[in-house]
Amino acid sequence: MYVRNNLRFSVVWRFAWRGLVIFTLYDLLICILYGPLNVHWLDIPWAPVATLGTAVAFYIGFKSNGSYDRFWEGRQLWGTIVNVSRTWAVRVFDYVADPVAPLDHSDSPALQALHRRLLYRQIAWCNALRLHLRRQTAEHWDEQVAPLLDPAESAAVRRLSNPPTHLLRRQSIELRELQQQGLLTEFRHVALMETIQDLFNAQGGCERIKNTPFPRQYAFFSFLFAWVFAAVLPLGLVAEFNRMGPYHLWLMVPVAALVSWVFNTIEVVGHMSENPFDNQMNDVPMTAICRSIEIDLRELLAETDLPLRTEPLDDVLF
């Protein structure tokens, strides 16, 4: 996610230069044909061009709104994951306890180790979900997930097609065992299972966005219509500028190139927001969110050796 208030010129230029070069060369060709070579049959009335431009603007706007909705839903789902992770931690501390132990022994080393295992598995789940959505499980599991889990559990889960699902399943199994051991009452067991259900709902929402591509008919025709408009635009402007005077004809080149670039940029922005989990500059910053969750939960465990918060790289927070 780009975090700077204003886009740097280098960023704008990186996405703009190809379109600007193509539009400028094409518009210059139309001017040369119409002016020095007197190919006047190229010009067309402005009214149909304006009508086409209006229709394309509505269509591209519809696609951009749909793309932004996908990004915002993805960000909301990860906001839910943050809140539910904190809820999980608090409920683990308050619910998972020996009901017959005196209060001054409620934080025994064994109980602390149990809390730590349940919270670390939650942190591992967040990172595993991030890698799963980015299709990076194979290359980053050992570094970013395995240290948070028991080695045997990590080795067993990473071979599966959906590691996050099986980590939540492992949480469920351990809660059942704790309930059977008397460390969880029935009510508290149900409450913790509801928290796992909330995590499953958030995971399912993320997977729905990831595995359901933006409808290709909208994406393709949005791109096609933008370029059709860019091709027709100078044909409608060339006669209008020529009427202003012989030298005004050449002003059509920057004006048409600029208008075409604006339409194309709107289409490109929509295209870049179609999949918010691809680890690109405009996507949901899942790495930073996972690190924030890890810091919160480890602080709740009273740990002091905490990782640093993720900082933007070239104004982009991943």
Question: What pLDDT band is residue 105 in, cutting at 50, 70 and 90?
Answer: very low
103-107, 209-213, 283-287, 302-306, range with the lowest pLDDT: 103-107
Q: Which of the pair, 74 or 279, is modelled with greater confidence?
A: 74
* Cα distances (Å, whole numbers) of residue 231 to 19, 60, 155: 12, 16, 56
Model confidence band, residue 286 (pLDDT cutoffs 50, 70, 90): very high
Residue 282, token pair as written in the block: 């405009």
Q: Is 82 exposed, middle or buried (0-12, 13-18, 19+ CB in 10 A)?
A: middle
Domain residue extents for the chain: 9-62+226-272, 69-213+286-300
Per-residue pLDDT at 196: 96
pLDDT digits (tens, 9 = 90+) for 182-206: 888 899 999 999 999 999 999 999 9
The string of DSSP letters for 170-219 reads HHHHHHHHHHHTTSS-HHHHHHHHHHHHHHHHHHHHHHHHHHSPPPHHHH
Angle, vertex CA 136, rays to CA 149 and CA 308, nearest 5: 60
Average pLDDT of the residues in 221-247: 87
List pLDDT tens digits, range 110-130.
Answer: 888 999 999 999 999 999 999
Looking at residue 67, its pLDDT comes to 87
Give the pLDDT score at 172.
96
Asked whether residue 102 carries a pLDDT value surpassing 50, the answer given is no
Nearest to residue 134, comparing CAs of 318, 309, 269? Answer: 318
8 or 132: whose pLDDT is higher?
132
CA-CA distance, 134 to 195, in Å (whole number)?
24
Give the pLDDT mean for 246-260.
87
| 1 pLDDT tier (thresholds 50, 70, 90) | low
What pTM value is reported for the model?
Answer: 0.87
Average pLDDT (150-161) is: 93
Q: Pick from 81, 79, 83: which is nearest to 71 by CA? A: 79
Q: What is the mean pLDDT of the chain?
A: 88
pLDDT band at 89 (very low <50, low <70, confident <90, very high): very high
**8/304 Cα distance (integer angstroms):** 37
